[in-house]
Structure 1
Amino acid sequence: MLPPATFLPEYDVAIVGAGPAGTACALALRGRGYRVILLDKAIFPRDKICGDAIPGPALKALRQLDPAYMEALWQLHPRDDVRRSRLVAPGGGSLYLHWKLPTFNSPRLNFDAALLALVRQHTTTEVRENAALKNVEITADCARLMLADGRQLTSRLVVGCDGAQSVVGRRLLPEPRLARAHHCAGVRAYFENVGGSESGTTEFFFSRSHLAGYLWLFPVGAGRYNVGLGMLSELVSQHKIDLRQLLLDNLATHPALAGRFAGARQLGPVRGFGLPIGGGRQRPASGARFLLCGDAASLIDPLQGHGIDLAIRSGILAAGQVSLCLEKQDFSAEFMARYDADLQQQLGPQLARSYRLMRLLGTRPWLMNVGVSLARLPGLGRWAQRLVG
C-alpha cells in the first residue's frame, strides 16, 4: 500500500486585507518565491475613513524596500505636500512644527489603490478583491479560510491585516474587547473653499470640549480639506458626546476656526469610525500559523492618531517572520512570538510614550497651553518637536 500523500496547502501565505499593512507585507515578500494571495472584501478604489495624512516614516519604510515605490507614490493626484504643522492650544496660542521627512496628504481612496497597484506591478501576488473573509480555522496542516461566498482556500499561514474589526483577530484571539480607555472614536468630512488655509500645512486644534483628542484640518490637494474630530471612546461614552454635532459646532464657534468655514462647502456626509490605540495592555499579535498587523494589532499612535506608518512597518516585520517560518517550517505559536517581540522592540516604546503623553495632556488643558508657550521660546522648539514625534 502506498503511504498517504502529504497535504499541500494551495498557498504559502494568505494576507487578509489590502490596505497599507497588507500591501506592505506583499511588497516585502516580493521575489522570495512564495505562493502569496492577497484578499480584500472591497473592490478598489475604495474609501477608508481616516485623516488622510501619510506620515514620513511610512514613505521611508517603502523607499527602503524599493525607491521605485516612493517615486510612484509621489506622483499621486490629488496630493498635498506637507512641510509643517500648526498646533493650536486650548488657550489659543499657536506653535508651528516643521517636519524633516518628506510627507504628503492624499485621500485613502487614492493612496490605498496606488499601493495595491504597486503589488500588481511588482510582485506575483494573486490579488482577489470582493472576497470577504467569513471564518478562519487553524489545523495541524494549514490555515483554512472560508469566504462569504462559500469558497474556501488553504495556506500555510495567514496574516491578518483586515482592520480594527479584524475577522482573523476575532476568530483566532477570542478575547474581550479593548477597554474604551484604549479605543478612540472619530468623525471626518471633506470640505472645499475653507478660508485662511495654506497648502503644505496641517492644523491641529485642541479645546476643552474635546479633551484627550483634537480637531484636524488637513489639505489633501485639489482645493479640498479633510476635516475631522477624534477623542477617547471612554470620554464620548461618559459625557454622551455626539461627535458629528460637536465637529460642526466647533467649525462655527472655535475661536481659531470661526469665520473660516463661512463660505466653505461640505462634500458628502460626516462619517464616523473607531480605532483601537496602542500603548496600553496589548493582546498578542500572533499565534499558531497567524500574525496580525496594523489596525488589527491595535497599532494606532495614541497622541497623533495616525496608523499608516505603523501598519506599513508591521507589514514588513510580518513578512520577515513569514520568511523565517517557511524557511524553518515552524508555524507554532512559540515561534510566531518572535514577531510580537519585534513589534514591541521597534514600535512599543513609541506607542507607550504617546499614550502616556496623550493621557497627561488630554486631561490638563492648562498644561497644553504652558507647553505651547514654552515651545515658542528660543531653543525649545526642537524639544517640542521631539516630544510629539
Structure 2
Amino acid sequence: MDGGGDRFDVVVVGAGPAGAAAALAARRAGAGVLLLDKATFPRDKPCGDGIAPHALDVVRELGVSGVEEGYAPVPALRLVGPGGRAVARAHARVVYTIPRMVFDRRLVEAAVRAGAVLRRHAVRRVEDRGGYVVVDGEIRAGAVVGADGAYSLVRRALGEPPNGPGHLALAIRGYAEAPEIAAEQRIVTTAAGWPAYAWAFPIGDGRANIGYGEVLRGRPLTREHLLDRLAALLPDLDTAAAAGLRAHHLPLSTRRPVAGRGRLLLAGDAMSLINPFTGEGIFYAVLSGALAGAAALDPGAPARRYRAALRRRLGAHLRHSRAAAALSSQRWIVDAAVRAADRDQRVFDALIELGLGDGRLTPRTLASVAAATLNR
C-alpha cells in the first residue's frame, strides 16, 4: 500500500515525555499530528521519577504549566561517594519527584488539548519513501519522530542497532515507605560493580522512589543481584516491602545513533539520550522531543535541521558529560569530586548542572577536584 489511509504532517511513535514534547512543538507550528503509543494512559514507566527544573523549563516553553502541581519540591541532595564520603547541599533550583504515571499522563493530555490526535497502536513498520513516510502501510506522514524507547522500531528502521555492553545500564525501581527523607534526594554510589549507585527520591507523601542501577559489562545481572545491592545501599529503608519493583534498561549517551536521516528522527531514549554521569533522561527527552517536533515541519530536510538544532543546543554538553563519565570510571576521582563539592557550593552546583541539565565541566570544577585529589 502507499499510505492511502490517514495523512498527517507529523507522526510521533511513542507518547512518553519525548513524544509528547514532539507533538506539542509540532502543533505549536500548526502541524497535523498523530501520536501513537502501544499503551493506554495513564501507564507506569520504570524510572527514578526525578524531574529537574531544566525539564520543566522546556515544558513551559511548549506552553504547558502545572505538571508539578500537587508534588512538593525537594530542596536538597545527599551524595555518598564510593569511599563513603558524603556531601549534602541545597539545590540551586529545587527538583521534584513526580511518578511517571502522573507526569507522562499530564504531558500527553496537554498534547491532546493542543490538538494532537492520540491513538493506541503498536507500530510494526516504518518506510521512508523520500518525500513522505508510510507507517504500517496505512498512515502517511510528512515526517516521523521515533520516541519509542531503548529498543526503538524507528531506530531499527534507520539501520541503527541498540546499545551494547558498556553503553547500557540496567536498573530496578520501586516505591518504599520513607517518611524520614522528605527534604532531600539521596544517591549512594558503591565500589562494588562500579559504576553503580542506589537512589531514594522522596515523593512528598511519605514514600520514595527507590532503585539501584549498574552499567552492563557483558555479563548478565539478575533481579536478585539488583535487589541485594539495593538493600545493602539503603539499609534504613524496607526495600523488601517496596511496591512496583520493575527493571529497565538505560541506553547511555556515550553510544548515540544518528539523530535522524531523511524524514525519520529520533528523540529521548530512542536516541540513547541518557546522561552517562547520572542516568538522568527526562530533560534530554523533552528537549530532544521539542527540537524534533519543530524540525519535522521542514519541507526539505527535517533530519538535517534537527541534527543542527541538537548540535547547537546539546553538542558541547554531551561532549562534557561523556568526559565526566570517563573520569568517573575511576572511583577515586568520584570521591575527590564529592570532597570538592562538600567544600564549595559552586562546585556542587556545577556538578548538578552537568548531571541534571546541560552544564559543562568548568575549569573551577576540574581544579577543585584536582585539589581534592591531592589534599585528601
TM-score normalised to the size of structure 1?
0.83
Q: Which runs of 4+ in 1 moved over 6 A?
A: none
Alpha-carbon distance, 1:308 to partner: 0.7
| Higher mean C-alpha displacement, 306-315 vs 100-109 | 100-109
Which residue does the alignment assign to 2:242? 266
The answer as to whether partners of 1:106 and 1:221 remain within 8 angstroms in 2 is no
1:142 is aligned to 2:132: yes
Distance 1:221 1:40 in 2: 30
Which residue does the alignment assign to 2:46? 49
Which residue does the alignment assign to 2:99? 107
For 1:75-154, list aligned pairs within 5 A: 75-76=69-70, 79-121=71-113, 123-129=114-120, 131-146=121-136, 152-154=138-140
The answer as to whether partners of 1:9 and 1:142 remain within 8 angstroms in 2 is no
Secondary structure in 2 matching 1:208: coil
The answer as to whether partners of 2:231 and 2:239 remain within 8 angstroms in 1 is no
The answer as to whether partners of 2:230 and 2:239 remain within 8 angstroms in 1 is no
The answer as to whether partners of 1:54 and 1:308 remain within 8 angstroms in 2 is yes
Identify if the C-alpha distance between structure 1 residues 97 and 340 changes in structure 2 by more than 3 Å, giving closer, same or farther: farther
Distance 2:30 2:192 in 1: 53
The answer as to whether partners of 1:164 and 1:298 remain within 8 angstroms in 2 is yes
Which residue does the alignment assign to 2:31? 34
Secondary structure in 1 matching 2:124: strand
Secondary structure in 2 matching 1:134: coil
Which residue does the alignment assign to 2:373? none
Amino acid at match of 1:226: N
Secondary structure in 2 matching 1:359: helix
The answer as to whether partners of 2:130 and 2:262 remain within 8 angstroms in 1 is no
For 1:329-348, list aligned pairs within 5 A: 329-331=299-301, 336-348=303-315
The answer as to whether partners of 1:82 and 1:202 remain within 8 angstroms in 2 is yes
The answer as to whether partners of 2:176 and 2:238 remain within 8 angstroms in 1 is no
Matched residue count: 350
Alpha-carbon distance, 1:313 to partner: 0.6
Which residue does the alignment assign to 1:352? 319
For 1:159-170, list aligned pairs within 5 A: 159-170=145-156
Identify if the C-alpha distance between structure 1 residues 262 and 108 changes in structure 2 by more than 3 Å, giving closer, same or farther: closer
Distance 1:336 1:251 in 2: 41
| Higher mean C-alpha displacement, 93-102 vs 203-212 | 93-102
Q: Which sections of structure 1, spanning at least 5 residues, go unmatched?
A: 1-6
The answer as to whether partners of 2:47 and 2:173 remain within 8 angstroms in 1 is yes
Distance 2:208 2:12 in 1: 32
TM-score normalised to the size of structure 2?
0.86
For 1:1-389, list aligned pairs within 5 A: 10-66=7-63, 69-70=64-65, 72-76=66-70, 79-121=71-113, 123-129=114-120, 131-146=121-136, 152-171=138-157, 173-192=158-177, 194=178, 197-234=180-217, 237-238=218-219, 240-242=220-222, 244-254=223-233, 257-258=234-235, 260-261=236-237, 265-268=241-244, 270-278=245-253, 280-323=254-297, 325=298, 329-331=299-301, 336-362=303-329, 364-377=330-343, 380-389=344-353
Q: Deviations over 1:205-230 (max 9, x none)?
A: 01111312211111123222111111
Distance 1:263 1:299 in 2: 29
Distance 1:262 1:65 in 2: 39
Identify if the C-alpha distance between structure 1 residues 187 and 145 changes in structure 2 by more than 3 Å, giving closer, same or farther: same
The answer as to whether partners of 2:76 and 2:94 remain within 8 angstroms in 1 is no
The answer as to whether partners of 2:14 and 2:35 remain within 8 angstroms in 1 is yes
The answer as to whether partners of 2:48 and 2:211 remain within 8 angstroms in 1 is yes
Q: Deviations over 1:180-233 (max 9, x none)?
A: 2221111112211x37x3213110001111312211111123222111111211
The answer as to whether partners of 1:303 and 1:388 remain within 8 angstroms in 2 is no
Distance 1:167 1:229 in 2: 27
Q: Which has the larger radius of gyration?
A: 1
The answer as to whether partners of 1:38 and 1:126 remain within 8 angstroms in 2 is yes
